[in-house]
């Protein structure tokens, strides 16, 4: 599909028009927009802070300290169904110039992930996309998700706007949400929240007034934010060239068909990267640490 689009771009070069935010071209009478990376992240950020005020508050606290907040990475979640898998979610980023960079496996959580980078642009956040491997779950879970996907209009699934759409399921209910959790917290989160930035990540490397990740963590706790302590508050070590911490996801009110419930939404992450022996900044992810970071959205009781 991606190849096809690329080819059409080349063929319809004369039709390309540009403005400051986007380029578009006509394909089968449909205008497909190529969004610039910056535009994508701005829209994702607005949606993310509007729905998870904690992240916005933390961001403002850093600004008040005189810091410039640069994102290390932004993460998405999805299912491995070919209609919505990693490749589908990656499309707008590839169009914007991103390239695939690393692959990760999470056996126990039955997840797979890939990260993408913008070449020659160290301040453009990495993009981390994971997918749930549906075949490894019960028939019931598979059916729940696939039936819901069957009901989503094709143009929604194929839209470059999919990454902004939130839950694409026509009706979600709390009983199903709680049931999905028994097999996978990730599946339940996806069911309720869908397509959006799961988290943004502050790059500690760019912070001037914080020595390291412990100081960042103390600052957050002093301001009343709770951290994900699964596997310890700090995941990874300087020897692994990546240290990470994250808040526990903000509690968000979700309207289910069987009532409104408050459940964990999105979280904010903090990452410090180190240079390797050759002086090259480590740019990948550490599966053992990521495994614990996923748990920042785990359900924590009513
Ligand atoms: C992603 C968890 C992993 C990282 O930086 O290692 C991660 C998620 O919660 O979807 O973000
Ligand atoms: Ni992350």
Residue 5 lies in a domain: no
Which pLDDT does position 107 carry in this prediction? 97
**41-61 burial string, b = 16+ CB within 10 Å, else e?**
beebbebbbebbebbbebbeb
The Cα 213–Cα 293 span in angstroms is 15
Strand blocks (E) in 120-240: 126-132, 199-203
Range of the domain at 290: 36-297
Name the residue among 287, 293, 241 with its Cα closest to residue 270: 293
Task: Kindly state whether residue 66 falls inside one of the protein's structural domains.
Answer: yes
257 falls within a domain: yes
Whether 163 is covered by a domain: the verdict is yes
Distance 293 CA to ligand 2 centre (A): 7
Asked, for residue 8, whether it belongs to a domain, the answer is no
Distance 246 CA to ligand 2 centre (A): 8
Number of structural domains in the chain: 1
User: Using CA atoms in the order 277, 283, 289, 294, what is the torsion angle rounded to 10 degrees?
Assistant: 180
Do the domain assignments include residue 123? Answer: yes
pTM: 0.90
Residue ranges lining ligand 1, Cβ < 6 Å: 75, 77, 128, 130, 198, 244, 269, 285, 289-290, 293-294
Per-residue pLDDT tens digits for 1-54: 333 333 333 333 333 333 333 344 444 444 556 789 999 999 999 999 999 999
With the most atoms of ligand 1 within 8 angstroms of its CB, the residue from 75, 193, 267 to mutate is 75
Please check whether residue 12 lies inside any domain of the structure: no
Higher per-residue pLDDT: 301 or 136: 136
- pLDDT (tens digit per residue) in 247-260: 999 999 999 999 99
Q: What is the pLDDT of residues 81-139, one digit of tens each?
A: 999 999 999 999 999 999 999 999 999 999 999 999 999 999 999 999 999 999 999 99
Domain with residue 54: its CATH number is 3.10.180.50
Query: Residue 198 C-alpha to ligand 1 middle, in angstroms?
Result: 8
Q: Is residue 14 part of a domain?
A: no
Q: How confident is the model at residue 301 (pLDDT cuts 50, 70, 90)?
A: confident
């Amino acid at each position: 599909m991606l190849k096809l689009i690329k080819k059409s771009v080349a063929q319809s070069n004369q039709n390309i028009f540009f403005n400051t935010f986007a380029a578009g071209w006509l394909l089968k009478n449909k205008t497909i927009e190529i969004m610039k990376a910056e535009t994508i992240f701005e829209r994702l950020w607005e949606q993310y802070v509007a729905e998870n005020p904690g992240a916005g508050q933390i961001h403002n606290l850093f600004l008040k300290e005189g810091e410039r907040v640069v994102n290390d990475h932004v993460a998405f979640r999805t299912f491995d169904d070919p209609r919505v898998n990693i490749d589908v979610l990656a499309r707008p980023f590839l169009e914007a110039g991103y390239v695939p960079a690393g692959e990760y496996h999470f056996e126990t959580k039955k997840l797979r992930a890939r990260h993408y980078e913008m070449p020659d642009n160290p301040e453009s956040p990495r993009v981390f996309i994971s997918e749930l491997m549906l075949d490894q779950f019960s028939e019931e879970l598979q059916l729940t998700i696939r039936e819901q996907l069957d009901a989503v209009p094709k143009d929604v699934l194929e839209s470059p706007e999919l990454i902004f759409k939130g839950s694409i399921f026509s009706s979600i209910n709390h009983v199903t949400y709680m049931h999905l959790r028994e097999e996978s917290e990730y599946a339940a989160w996806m069911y309720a929240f869908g397509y959006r930035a799961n988290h943004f990540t502050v790059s500690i490397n760019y912070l001037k007034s914080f020595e390291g990740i412990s100081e960042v963590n103390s600052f957050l706790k002093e301001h009343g934010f709770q951290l994900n302590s699964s596997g310890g508050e700090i995941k990874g070590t300087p020897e692994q060239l990546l240290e990470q911490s994250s808040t526990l996801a903000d509690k968000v009110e979700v309207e289910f068909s069987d009532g409104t419930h408050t459940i964990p939404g999105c979280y904010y992450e903090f990452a410090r990267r180190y240079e390797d022996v050759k002086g090259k900044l480590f740019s990948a992810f550490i599966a053992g640490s990521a495994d614990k970071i996923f748990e920042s959205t785990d359900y924590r009781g009513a």
